[in-house]
Structure 1
Amino acid sequence: MNMTTATQALNILNAILHIRRVDEKAAPSAAPGSEIQQIQAIQLPRIQRFVEAGEPIEFVLPAFPAKSPNPNKVLGRLPDLAERISLQSLDKLCADVKRLYAPGARLTICSDGRVFGDVIGVNDTDITEYQSKISQIIKQKHADHLKLYNLEDCKLLTAPENDFDRLRQVMIEGYAESLKAIKRKLMSSNEGIELYCAISRFMFEDNLMPDYIGSRRALQKKAKSMAVEVIQRSWAWGDLLAQQFPDAIRLSIHPQAPSSLKIGVHMMPAQNAWITPWHGVAVDMGDRVELMNRKSAELCGGRLVIQDGQPSHYVVEPGQLADAPIAQAV
């Protein structure tokens, strides 16, 4: 590795790490800097291959599936300011790479809405409308570094592109492990247990609708089962993408261990390390725009803003936040 390309690769990685998503609750690294060293050992050779070939850095990010079905968490079924800011942030990452490295970068958003929509209770019509709006935002914002990729775009799956149920089935048959194997693997590491707990919490919150009349215990049991199935589908999707984009730098919207092939990234400030634009709302705090769930935004005294005829985000006036009750997740 010559010094010029080595420096370029390191600068590119540092640009990614600038928006790295870290789980604040995770145990700290035993030695200062050891996490970064682990990430460098994995990622620098991968970035270096693009630099040596003089090709644009290729990123893939499984993200932007569809809005949560729970109105306590989101404003509706369509993308809003949270998605707009997040897409601009991803485009900025590529622009930052371009300033460091002339060939630049491109980022493929691999939407996983089709992958597990039937599990989380979001129908394909809503997913189609959400994806269509994401495409419109990318065009409106001239986010030329970004493109969308959906399950129906994958040529490795031998099924009609408009038969979503069949596409999901072919993916599961060809790329997924059994649910029992997934559960066993999750329980075998701290990272797996943390992921299982986080996704279980998401499933619980998504299904704790305002009109839910069942017991919390029953819903928790259902959420745990759903979490394993969502993770099964997500991992299958990841394996499929690894075949489709074998050399790409793999990003994630979740925190990742330093030893992972993926790098977790933030797209905007957030209430916690796990919240996403499709599980929350954008709240203008005056000095920043932050992601939180809708119920928290309303507890903070947020004023709803309508743009282009649809709910967009909340605004919290100076002084309101300090006087608001502590906002908890649903």
Structure 2
Amino acid sequence: MDTSNDGTSVYHRLGAMVLFDASGTLLCATGPLDEWITARWKSCVPFLLRQDRALSPTATFVGSLRDGSRSVTIYRGQRLPGGNTTGLILESTGPENEFDSFFVGLILNQSTFAFNRPTALSATEDRRAAASAADITALFDSYLRYQGKDDKWTAGGSDYFLSCAKRFTAKRTKIELCLPAFPCKSSNLNKVTGKSPDRGEWLALERLHGFVEAIEKVYAPGAMVWIISDGHVFSDCIGVDDADVDRYGQQLSEMNRSIGTARGRLDRVQFRSLVDLFNLHQSELSVPQTGSYSAMADRLCIPSLEHHVPTSVTEEAELCRRILMAGCQPQRSAVRSLIESRDAAVLALYRGFSRFMLEDLELHPFMEKMSRSKQKKVSCEVAFEMILVRFFLLVHPVRFNYELHNNAGPKFGIQLFDPASVRVAASLAADSAAMTAVDLLHIPTPWHNCVVKLGDRLIVTKSKTARNVVASGTLEGGLVQGRPGEPGGACFELRNPVFSTAATYPDDAEDSKAQVEVKTPAVQTFSKSEERRVWRALPRQLSTQVETFMAVVVPFVEAMELRFESRVGRSGFLFSKRVTGEARLLGSMERTDAVKRARGKVLGSGTTVAACRHIAIAFGRDYLKGEPRGSFRKPWGSRQNMLWNWYTIDSCFIASTWRITSPGMMAGSCIGVILLTMSLEFLRRSVKEYDRFLLRQHAARSAAGTSSPTKAGSDNGVASIAAVGYRPKIWEQAIRAFLHMTQFAVAYFIMLLAMYYNGYIIICIFIGAYLGSFVFHWETLIP
């Protein structure tokens, strides 16, 4: 969406930024009106050199210039250390005011590095600069770039990135990269672990440090990533207090400092907040001069802001928000008009932010008291404000973003998590789909999610997902803080409940009663009474002998890659485990070859036999419960039950690929079942109609060969033929048989669905039968 022309703020009136020397020679001009200013530069010089007054961070108004229908206002900024001076040209809309000078000064203070005077390079230097820029571009493409829908990296985006990088490599200066990100933790605790940075932020910062390190290997001056922490920009919209934003930023800076110290450099990644960017304490209009932030706002005539979600604000952060909105936001009426006119880009952004805010604020105390319709209304109001504040004036030539962009430039979407070591998913299932933001606008971020450590795998998902699997008993574990020597920040550490961090096993009956220490992880132990109860209650075919237990257990052991190794004699025993995310638990009793191999492995060690027995008892206990969700069910398995149930999420039908992962998928399955049952009624009607067609066709042929006055094809004619009978030809019978087979197959498939005893599916079968009969069996009845 582009509303850059729909406003009268300083941002929307920005014509060009210029750099000139003491004699007034134009060194650089950049902006929408750069060519217009360059052509009329001689007319601007007298204004700029009229007087050499002492300049402050507040820019100085020096004059106006009119040429034809265009009128511009000229501002002079600071003198740089090298003797050059900055300036800014605004399109005029009225008399010059104090806020314009103030905001222009803020822009020029943060934009001095952007004025790179073109440097005349030799052919060799130009080739070297181009080669370095190409290396950095290729590195970004392979290391950090996020490829989304309608990606245009190869259709011009890479060339844009290359040109930006070359601006720095041509001067052999450090490349400056900008990333507006890391605002604050979401207020929704169903998403995150809390208010503080956790393992997700650590992983993201490590990735950014690693990217800069990789640049240093191909380009000696290196690079720097400026993280613009934009929490104060919209914290009042997302229900987060300013104090929490400040605390999050401080803790994040400490985390970044720890990472930089461990990697040998502290300047690869640096933070700046909205308060840091504006740096109000150095302004002529700052608090020491005006007495308070409110007095400063009154002097600059900055309008106040409306807060749709109650939050606790600080005076400085609130003033910065007011300055940003006054200096950058588009006209509210223009944005509202685009939404109401159903502009595709703006409407998609508005709906996306509405969905996002409805989810993000669902646990906010202010929203919990409201009805669903009222919540949606507030979410839409907040979404509108988010659209207004998203036009952040940052003039860095290389800008990264965590929003979904097509990578055509000037913004480029990045992956904050390394896909080689971290999986971003909607659930803990190994085959679950990749996470998609509810607003369809954001790349998954650490401040909207949490990290789950499952075995040796790291999964980024919602905290509610981790807490649910622990509460259900599917997995055990919980939230743990970072340990010494490990990556910092809290994360969920989960494991299968059949394994614990340490245990000892009683030896088999044939061995001594000595305890054998088992290496982590180990199988949980059971009391003797529980063991006897399981043995007595299990069916005879499962309790006859220990080897039969092994026939059930060892294939599970193999599938989960539990490796048994015994040393010479019985002096020691190693029991190690490695769970792979793609393991599949196969039918144990059918894997006879695996059983034989497993028996050959375990019969040599009594201790191993004892370990297997404990695994078997765990399996038997869950077998008696009649629950497929027992100790050996994978944490990413699905719910199945042969009793009446109302399962939705994690329900599985027919095949493992038909596993319900969202309410929408369940609704689609129900609609599919209705249509499938209706198709059965259609097939039944098709069989009937085909038989009638054959009779009519035979009646017509018979009537054509006789002198009977009966009209060929009439009902009486068909009735007379039917009374005599008709034997279909072989190809006609083949079609009848095919229709019957198809009808039988569909009916059998529906029967299989009904045998899952899912109430929703069975109701849909009834509905489909009713609708199918109503539509396809509505015919004229003949006595």
TM-score band, normalised by shorter chain: 0.7 to 0.9
Shift of 1:100: 1.5
Which structure has the larger Rg? 2
Unmatched tracts of structure 2, length 5 or more: 1-122, 288-292, 294-314, 418-422, 426-434, 437-441, 496-578, 580-633, 640-649, 651-659, 664-783
Q: Does residue 218 of structure 1 match 2:367?
A: no
| Separation of aligned partners in 1, 2:415 and 2:336 | 27
Aligned to 1:122: 240
Change (3 A) 1:38 1:183: farther
Match of 1:137 among 255, 260, 280: 255
Distance in 2 between residues matched to 1:285 and 1:194, nearest whole Å: 36
Answering whether residue 490 of structure 2 is matched by residue 321 of structure 1, we say no
**Aligned residues of 1:76 and 1:311 also touching (Cα < 8 A):** no
1:204 aligns with 2:358: yes
Which residue in the other structure is 2:189 paired with? Answer: 71
Q: Give the aligned residue type for 1:258.
A: N
Q: Which amino acid aligns with 2:272?
A: Y
How far 1:213 sits from its partner (Å)? Answer: 4.2
SS where residue 177 of structure 2 aligns?
A: strand
Task: Give the TM-score normalised by the residue count of structure 1.
Answer: 0.85
1:74–1:278 Cα contact (<8 Å) kept: yes
Higher normalized contact order (CA 8 Å, seq sep 6+, divided by chain length): 1
Confirm or deny: 8 A CA contact 2:197 2:489 kept in the other structure.
no
What is the CA–CA distance in structure 1 between the aligned matches of 2:457 and 2:387, rounded to whole Å? Answer: 32
**Identity over aligned residues, as a percent?**
26
Alpha-carbon distance in 1 for matches of 2:347, 2:139: 30
Q: 1:15 aligns with which of 106, 122, 139?
A: 139
Alpha-carbon distance in structure 2 between the residues aligned to 1:71 and 1:179: 32
Measure how far apart 1:286 and its partner are: 3.9
Tell me, yes or no, if structure 1 residue 148 matches structure 2 residue 271.
yes
Give the TM-score taking structure 2 as reference length.
0.38
Report SS of the residue matched to 2:363.
coil
Gaps in structure 1 of 5+ consecutive residues: none
Q: Deviations over 1:175-194 (max 9, x none)?
A: 1113333355575344x444
Q: What is the total number of aligned residue pairs between the two structures? A: 314
- Note closer, same or farther for the CA distance 1:224–1:15 as it changes in structure 2 (3 Å cut): farther
Rounded to whole Å, the distance in 2 between the matches of 1:182 and 1:299 is 41
Aligned to 2:343: 188
Selected match of 2:227 from 94, 103, 109: 109
1:166 counterpart (319, 333, 338): 319
One-letter identity of the residue aligned with 2:186: S
**CA separation in 2, counterparts of 1:304 and 1:311?**
14
- Contact 2:478–2:494 (Cα < 8 Å) also in 1: no
Q: CA RMSD in A?
A: 2.8
Aligned position for 2:447: 278
Q: Aligned equivalents of 1:286 and 1:199: distance in 2?
A: 35
Structure 2 matches for 1:203-282, cutoff 5 A? 203-209=357-363, 212-235=368-391, 238-239=392-393, 241-242=394-395, 246-247=396-397, 249-268=398-417, 269-271=423-425, 272=435, 274=442, 275-282=444-451
Structure 1 residues 297 and 53, CA gap change in structure 2 (3 angstroms): same
**Partner in structure 2 of residue 312 of structure 1:** 490
Q: Which SS does the other structure have where 1:322 is aligned?
A: coil
Look up the match of 2:460: 291
Alpha-carbon distance in structure 1 between the residues aligned to 2:165 and 2:232: 30
Q: How far is the alpha carbon of 1:199 from its aligned partner?
A: 2.4
Encode CA deviations 1:264-296: one digit per residue, 9 max, x unaligned. 101114233533111110122445423211112
Quote the Cα distance in structure 2 between the aligned partners of 1:208 and 1:123.
16
**For residues 4 and 286 of structure 1, do their structure 2 counterparts lie closer, same or farther at Cα, with a shift above 3 Å needed?**
farther
Preserved CA contact (<8 Å) 1:179 1:229? no
Deviates more, 1:176-185 or 1:142-151: 176-185
Query: After superposition, what is the alpha-carbon deviation per residue over 1:25-77, rounded to whole angstroms, capped at 9, x for unaligned?
Result: x3x56xxxx53232123211111111111011111111111111111111111
One-letter code aligned to 1:219 = Q
